[in-house]
Amino acid sequence: MEQINYEKLIPQEPITDVVAFARQHGEFENAYLIYRSERVYDPLNIGTVCSVKVTCSACGHTFYAEKVPAGGCRHSCAPASFGWKDEQMPNAVIDGDKTLCPNCCKEAKTVHIGSMRSYGGELIDDTWVTELSRLPIEGLADRLVLTEWCIRRCINKQGTVRYEIWPFTAWVVEEKKIVRLMGYMKNIGGRICLFGEWRQRKQFEDVYGSAKLIVPWDKSLLEGTTAENSKLDLYQTEKRGRELVSYLALWRRRPHVENLLVQGCGNLVRTWIK
């Protein structure tokens, strides 16, 4: 039988609100206080003074603070040429320090806009969410499909937050094997290049590892699919298994592993996977 190409058949975007799901589970909690130098009008001196403008990425609040040159914050090799005088801290804060936002009181990392250049001008944080679904194929059993999305939070110099969702890895369980689809590749430097689409690979290779977040699913999803007898639900819930792809691959090769789960030998299964 000819290999089915799943690139356009599997979900092209998440089925659920994965951004909300990730946030509900404590992702993207980290905040930034983004600062820059700005001249502000000072009525006492009848003129402008050089000040520091700070914006909180968590609440959007902007405030002005007294500018402190790097020598006053740190000695040599300071991460930025200046910081600001923080009323809550004994010393001035500078790029990389943590302090509290005076408005929302959230702990935040201070970032000078000059150091945002290396990320294409934005602060990037990534997390990963896995969804399970079934894919009907005419004349064949429905395929169980795992799709892993990379959720990327981008914060620009104005502190505006934006979320992006990228296809990361996808796995289609067939009768005899598991088909791998990738949404990224690693460049020579180890940097990840995202495609923005699924690309099917000839070889199975478990690059999935351990799931970060899995959208809850009901075991009835497995009924009548290629993974009907896999007991994936048992593996995930009772044994708190996160290596979903490793488990499915093991089960495809050694179908009796599901018996071990049923008999309560889940620890043995986990050891095998490791």
Strands lying side by side in the sheet with 107-112: 82-84, 62-69, 47-56, 31-42, 107-112, 98-100
Question: Is the Cβ of residue 63 or residue 166 nearer to Zn ion in the bound state?
Answer: 63
- Residue 261 exposed, middle or buried by CB count within 10 Å (0-12, 13-18, 19+): buried
Question: Is the Cβ of residue 12 or residue 103 nearer to Zn ion in the bound state?
Answer: 103
Compute the least distance from the CB of residue 60 to Zn ion, in Å. 7
Compute the least distance from the CB of residue 30 to Zn ion, in Å. 12
From residue 95, give the alpha-carbon distance in Å to each of 154, 155, 207: 18, 16, 35
Residues within the interface to Zn ion (CB under 5 A): 56, 58-59, 61, 101, 103-104
Question: Is the Cβ of residue 61 or residue 239 nearer to Zn ion in the bound state?
Answer: 61
Compute the least distance from the CB of residue 212 to Zn ion, in Å. 26
CA 77 to chain CA mean position, Å: 32
How far, in Å, CA of 27 to CA of 106, rounded? Answer: 15
Query: Which residues partner with 179 through β-bridges?
Result: 172
Pair 206, 245: CB distance under 8 Å: yes
Question: Is the Cβ of residue 94 or residue 101 nearer to Zn ion in the bound state?
Answer: 101
Question: Is the Cβ of residue 10 or residue 58 nearer to Zn ion in the bound state?
Answer: 58
Residue 28 falls in which region: left (phi positive, over 0), alpha (psi -120 to 50) or beta: left
Compute the least distance from the CB of residue 106 to Zn ion, in Å. 5
Compute the least distance from the CB of residue 128 to Zn ion, in Å. 26
